[in-house]
Amino acid sequence: MFATEIRQLNDAELVTKFLDLKEELFNLRFQNATGSLEKHNLIPQLKKDIARVETVLTERNITATNNGASTEEEN
């Protein structure tokens, strides 16, 4: 998943995507522990996708906080 695709999602979709990715990572780790995981390269790739989603969520929170602070300063 590319960052441009992630940025097009709204906040609710991002949170849902984040939770889905975390659940999928858990399942892959479980498969890895039991020895049934065939594509080991999926775990690092999934971790990067989770980090991308977290980054976009953090950017939006910072932007919202800064916009709220600037609005209070204007009043």
- Alpha-carbon distance of 73 to 56, in angstroms, equals 26
Domain boundaries, the chain: 3-68
Architecture in CATH of 3-68: Orthogonal Bundle (1.10)
- Flag whether pLDDT at 75 surpasses 80: no
* Each residue's pLDDT tens digit, 3-47: 899 999 999 999 999 999 999 999 999 999 999 999 999 999 999
Q: What is the pTM of this model?
A: 0.86
- Flag whether pLDDT at 69 surpasses 70: yes
The number of beta carbons lying within 10 Å of the beta carbon of residue 60 is 14
